[in-house]
Structure 1
Amino acid sequence: MLRLASGRSHVAGISPTKLSETVVRYLDDFNPWHNVRHFAQNVGNDILSGLTVAVIALPLALAFGVASGLGPETGMWAAICGGIFVGLFGGSKTGVSGPTGPKVVQLAAIVELTRLANGQADLGFIFSLVFLSGLVCVGLALLKVGRFIYYTPYSVVSGFMCGIGVIIVVLEIPAMLGFQTPSSVWEAIRQIPYDILHEDPRAVIVSGATFATIVLWPRISPVRWLPGPLIGLLVGTGIAAIFQFDIAYIGEMPTGLPKIYWPSFSRFDEMIGPATALAGLAIFDSLLTCLVADNMTDDRHNSDREIFGQGIANMMCGLVGGVTTATATMRTVANIKCGGRSGLAGLVHGVVLLALMLGLAPFASYIPIACLAGILLKIGIDIIDYRVLPVLHRMPFTDALCFWAVLLLTVSVDLLVAMGVGVAIAFVRVIHELGSLYEQDVVSVKQAKRQFPGDKVMPDELKERILKLRLEGPLFFGVSDTLYRVASSMNDYDYLMIRLHQVPMIDMSGAFLLDDIIDKAHANGAIVVITGLRPSTRRVLDKLKILDKIGHDRCFEKFNDAMVWIEQCEGIPVTDGEVNGGAVTDVVESGAS
């Protein structure tokens, strides 16, 4: 409500000054100054690291641009935007962004599905979609969703990475044999037998030499600062040039400033689904890499700021015609190994690639497609999670189910579908475990032998007229079946005492099932009292009007207070009595004990 008083406006009772201060504090988390202030702390190492990572990123950016179906220059512009804008706005000091395998695989599928009638990619639609995915990331960053990355089960992460590795390896085998890269995994699988029987030996020599160089270079070279992918690129391109192999090459690349693609949302209904999928994968891919960087540097990234940085970078990619970006594992690890410790390294990496794109891009036209396939094959093999492979046969059943579901769905259906199914399986498992942890046993009052220290003595004449329901742990939808069985088992009592002092929280499902127990007691003519309500539990039951059924005068802080009230209702003289001599025993015991 807007109110005017004394010449000043107030919104919901908050002064404009305080409201503006709150907004500024909220948005300050996304201020690039958080990164810029660290630039001066490690200038020399950050610049050298940025130069080295740019050399590593060059062949990868070209390869990913080709793999997307949009051309090698689109991979370069994505690497430039990712390096510069995530370096300024990102949430990891050591993260380096650009096109990545998972993002490119996803975008390539969208490109294939949206081609024009003449077979050309619908560039206006694709780059508008990339821009929209960045806008979605910015919105999610403002909603502070980054913290949820820490709730992702390892079986989901492992299955996802193995699936991505399998996709890249399968898609690059035809290109290594001298054929065009297939548009889908299933097409590649169908095509591979034919390609093996009809391979081009020249393409096999180039791709094999490239792959072997990348594998052997770190083992035989004393020059640590020269990256294997660059040496492999030089070897493969050199062999093709020396012997003048007539195989597929990248071809001409445009130089100079990029063409601007202003976003158009006239087909918003067709864009929002794929754009959200791209944004989700950008977040997941980036934050997983940030977790890896945290483990290597003993630092902790800011997840929301990283998502914001990816959003800005992807919006810029959409404007200048680049594929989508995410924080890249290989480049991030290389940056850390080379001594990079701030966003300046990522920024330098982007600026170096920009200089190459503006002046040296024509040299890239001599790079064979088979050479890039050899580089991508090594990347696909490296992405596979070799930590989990030796223990696949010893995994708990639910973890194994989750891992294989995510892997197979990643390869055969969609990356986000796979993640969703994997998280759902893990979620169901957790809920089942929690429900089992607090499973309850029902015992008649005469059979119950357990007594609780500190409880007031129950008069003999009340022993068989009171049921005590003692609940432990959270009351939520995961224990609904247990509570239902409790309600079905209780009968023949005049008083129902519900003890909630060991219930830390309750959701709507738990509250309504507790309401059913109360209704059943009232239908049997019993009086219900509650003891030990915690403030959080009381708030939920108050909001749902459940305490009104009982009466607030029948909600007691302690068990003994409730016993005194019952004795007064029965006209029994109240005495302190002895503790535990005939104390009320539990009809229902919940919890693991």
Structure 2
Amino acid sequence: MSQIDSNQPKFNLKSYLNDFNPWHNIKIMHTNVPNDILAGITVAVIAMPLALAFGVASGLGAEAGMWAAICGGILVGLFGGSNTGVSGPTGPKVVQLAAIIAATKLASGEPDIVFAMSMVFLSGLVCIVLALMKIGRFIYYTPYSVVSGFMCGIGVIIILLEIPPMLGFATPNSVVGAIKQIPYDIMHEKPHALIVSLATFFTILLWPRVTKKEWLPAPLMGLIVGTSIAHLFTFKDIEYIGSMPVGLPHLYWPDFTRFGDMVGGAFALAGLCIFDSLLTCLVADNMTNERHNSDREIFGQGIANLGCGIVGGVTTATATMRTVANIKCGGKTGLASITHGLVLLALMLGLAPYASYIPMACLAGILLKVGMDIIDYRVLPVLHRMPFMDSICFWAVLILTISVDLLVAMGVGITIAFVRIVQELGQAYEQNVVSLNDMDRKLPADVSMPEELKEKVLKLRLEGPLFFGVSDTIYRASSALVDYKYLIVRMARVPMADMSGAYLLDDIIEKAHKQGATVFFTGLRPQVDRTLTRLRVIEKVGREHCLETFNDAILKIQELESDLASGKTNIEEDNLSQV
């Protein structure tokens, strides 16, 4: 066992931490400077109206969305794992944060900003810890039905929450509140607010068909049109963003005195951050034929959320719309993301007062389009043709996302998919039990074995991973093991074994020993051998009975039988001599 362990690669802390070194991003920033700067400016123009809208939707104010976009742009540009990803506030994270803020308001009805920012800061710490644990690769194992249900649910939430402000009323605190409020709002809608929101929405919808110029993106054009209509016709009965602070942000130092209350929300925000960011990175990979570093991306998001928690920004994640725009505009390194953040910083330091003239209904029109874009239209035409378990998974995630909680929905969806795949792997697991007489293959030429012994030699062939999901299959195979003297367990096609699989083998060995039978293992792979050795399963078989091939086991049985026969002959001769 010690010999096996000595072959394991030694842990190298320096090499391990090197994965999170910002030098990976800095050293390539000189390779595409003009295009990166132009792309960053363009993405900043796209990001500004979205950041303002998300800040308002969170309940913390428009400036909170802007500071999040600034932190995401600059810090993830330095520390992130995708060369083309651009970070900032996103729909899923803002929806989650808004629900938490609504549930933790002060007695005065105002948001508990210190609590919220401390939770955002803590979510950044969680992301950093998870990045150091190297969990990023698991995003590739998320089933599409879970992703699709999640995205559709987020889209529906945003649409429902933005209908009241489009009609001139306050944004509801929850989806249930929105559903209850919408009928009243429709019957008492404010025409001026509806005009502004619809003008904004249809401008965003139609602008890409009018022009392909990326320097004037549809969200910015919608913001200009909606705001212009409100002021041109002097709509004074609608709500505006109001004053925004100019200059450096107010700093919020983390206060963990209510750690127990905020840890659940922090993990929820961290989980959404990871999921949202890495899904967008997969989109970017497909567009650029590159491969992002998932763990470094999670680390960068953790750093950005630490910054958000200090400067008063809503949480960040890698944003699909900004990332796609960055790629289309020629951005190829983190310099584009940093430029986008610096442009927004300049706006906040000098032009923030102009945001006070933007109508809330205008931002609602922008977010309505965002909600519609998030919905997965690829899956809608095939909803009625989905495989049964995929359909259950999709609808469970969709309904739970809307009615309960985003992270709960993700957990339930992944659990359903996990149970399904374990069940299918268990059913697909191949094994059979035969005696030597029933085998199709012939014995080695130098082996002669009486027919009555052949019936006493059983072969148990296992094929596939030996893990907890195949316990029922292996149990049924072991129940067929009766009346035998030798058992050969063929494991050449078993790539891995977990503790459950190892103890299943242990049970088979115990059953064999109770019958006075001898067990052989053949074709053990190193990983399986290592597991069985550590769990002391091999020592019950005996290292001398772990052989390379099935023929080796047959020859070993013949040798044992010969030894046994010669031993009996010697005993008989001794008895005769005594007589």
User: TM-score, with normalisation over the residues of structure 1?
Assistant: 0.90
Separation (CA, whole Å) in 2 of partners of 1:458 and 1:533: 26
Aligned to 1:450: 440
Q: Report the CA distance between 1:444 and its aligned residue.
A: 7.0
Q: Deviations over 1:76-95 (max 9, x none)?
A: 10011111111111111111
Check 1:262–1:440 CA distance in 2 against 1; reply closer, same or farther (3 A cut): same
Aligned to 1:8: none
Q: Report the CA distance between 1:457 and its aligned residue.
A: 5.6
Greater shift, 272-281 or 451-460, is seen at 451-460
Aligned to 1:303: 294
Percent identity of the aligned residues? 70
Check 1:544–1:573 CA distance in 2 against 1; reply closer, same or farther (3 A cut): closer
Task: State which of 514, 526, 529 in structure 2 corresponds to 1:523.
Answer: 514
Amino acid at match of 1:369: M
Separation (CA, whole Å) in 1 of partners of 2:448 and 2:153: 63
Matched, 1:144 2:134: yes
Q: Report the CA distance between 1:219 and its aligned residue.
A: 0.6
Q: Report the CA distance between 1:116 and its aligned residue.
A: 0.8
Q: Report the CA distance between 1:226 and its aligned residue.
A: 0.7
Aligned to 1:126: 116
Separation (CA, whole Å) in 1 of partners of 2:337 and 2:163: 31
Q: Report the CA distance between 1:341 and its aligned residue.
A: 1.1
Indicate the SS of the match to 1:226.
coil
Report matched runs for 1:238-387 at 5 Å: 238-245=228-235, 246-387=237-378
Separation (CA, whole Å) in 2 of partners of 1:452 and 1:162: 59
Indicate the SS of the match to 2:521.
strand
Aligned to 1:179: 169
Q: Report the CA distance between 1:441 and its aligned residue.
A: 4.9
Check 1:335–1:521 CA distance in 2 against 1; reply closer, same or farther (3 A cut): same
Q: Report the CA distance between 1:553 and its aligned residue.
A: 2.4
Check 1:222–1:493 CA distance in 2 against 1; reply closer, same or farther (3 A cut): closer
Aligned to 1:499: 490
Task: State which of 154, 157, 172 in structure 2 corresponds to 1:164.
Answer: 154
Separation (CA, whole Å) in 2 of partners of 1:269 and 1:421: 23
Matched, 1:408 2:399: yes
Indicate the SS of the match to 1:528.
strand
Matched, 1:115 2:105: yes
Indicate the SS of the match to 1:299.
coil
Indicate the SS of the match to 2:519.
strand
Task: State which of 511, 521, 527 in structure 1 corresponds to 2:502.
Answer: 511
Q: Deviations over 1:449-502 (max 9, x none)?
A: 533686856432312221121222221111100111122222111222222222
Aligned to 2:29: 39
Check 1:427–1:344 CA distance in 2 against 1; reply closer, same or farther (3 A cut): same
Separation (CA, whole Å) in 2 of partners of 1:521 and 1:537: 21
Separation (CA, whole Å) in 2 of partners of 1:34 and 1:449: 59
Q: Report the CA distance between 1:417 and its aligned residue.
A: 1.0
Separation (CA, whole Å) in 1 of partners of 2:397 and 2:433: 40
Separation (CA, whole Å) in 2 of partners of 1:328 and 1:154: 19
CA contact (8 A) 2:276 2:317 kept: yes
Matched, 1:463 2:454: yes
The number of residues matched between the two structures is 556
Indicate the SS of the match to 2:462.
strand
Separation (CA, whole Å) in 2 of partners of 1:161 and 1:74: 24
Separation (CA, whole Å) in 1 of partners of 2:230 and 2:192: 8
CA contact (8 A) 1:567 1:573 kept: no
Separation (CA, whole Å) in 2 of partners of 1:470 and 1:150: 32
Q: Deviations over 1:315-340 (max 9, x none)?
A: 01110111000001111111111111
Check 1:23–1:530 CA distance in 2 against 1; reply closer, same or farther (3 A cut): closer
Amino acid at match of 1:201: P
Task: Provide the alpha-carbon RMSD of the alignment.
Answer: 2.0
Aligned to 2:541: 550
Gaps of 5+ in 1: 1-12, 575-593
Amino acid at match of 2:386: M
CA contact (8 A) 2:434 2:459 kept: no
Greater shift, 501-510 or 563-572, is seen at 563-572
Q: Deviations over 1:152-210 (max 9, x none)?
A: 11111111111111100111011101111111111111111111111111111000000
Report matched runs for 1:15-164 at 5 Å: 22-164=12-154
Separation (CA, whole Å) in 1 of partners of 2:296 and 2:257: 30
Amino acid at match of 1:182: P
CA contact (8 A) 2:52 2:65 kept: yes
Q: Report the CA distance between 1:428 and its aligned residue.
A: 1.4
Amino acid at match of 1:539: R
Q: Deviations over 1:380-420 (max 9, x none)?
A: 00011111111111111111111111111111111111111
Separation (CA, whole Å) in 2 of partners of 1:69 and 1:267: 21
Q: Report the CA distance between 1:533 and its aligned residue.
A: 2.1
Aligned to 1:201: 191
Q: Report the CA distance between 1:313 and its aligned residue.
A: 0.6
Amino acid at match of 2:361: A
Q: Deviations over 1:211-253 (max 9, x none)?
A: 0100111111253421011111011111111111120110111
Q: Report the CA distance between 1:508 and its aligned residue.
A: 1.1
Check 1:454–1:254 CA distance in 2 against 1; reply closer, same or farther (3 A cut): farther
Aligned to 2:206: 216
Greater shift, 144-153 or 76-85, is seen at 144-153
Amino acid at match of 2:14: V
CA contact (8 A) 1:103 1:281 kept: yes
Q: Report the CA distance between 1:559 and its aligned residue.
A: 2.2
Check 1:400–1:222 CA distance in 2 against 1; reply closer, same or farther (3 A cut): closer
Indicate the SS of the match to 1:529.
strand
Matched, 1:399 2:390: yes
Task: State which of 431, 436, 460 in structure 1 corresponds to 2:422.
Answer: 431
Check 1:490–1:24 CA distance in 2 against 1; reply closer, same or farther (3 A cut): closer
Indicate the SS of the match to 2:247.
coil
Aligned to 1:9: none
Indicate the SS of the match to 2:377.
coil
Aligned to 2:577: none
Separation (CA, whole Å) in 1 of partners of 2:351 and 2:268: 34
User: TM-score, with normalisation over the residues of structure 2?
Assistant: 0.93
CA contact (8 A) 2:431 2:460 kept: no
Report matched runs for 1:526-545 at 5 Å: 526-545=517-536
Q: Report the CA distance between 1:554 and its aligned residue.
A: 2.3
Separation (CA, whole Å) in 1 of partners of 2:155 and 2:47: 19
Aligned to 1:236: 226
Aligned to 1:588: none
Aligned to 2:216: 226
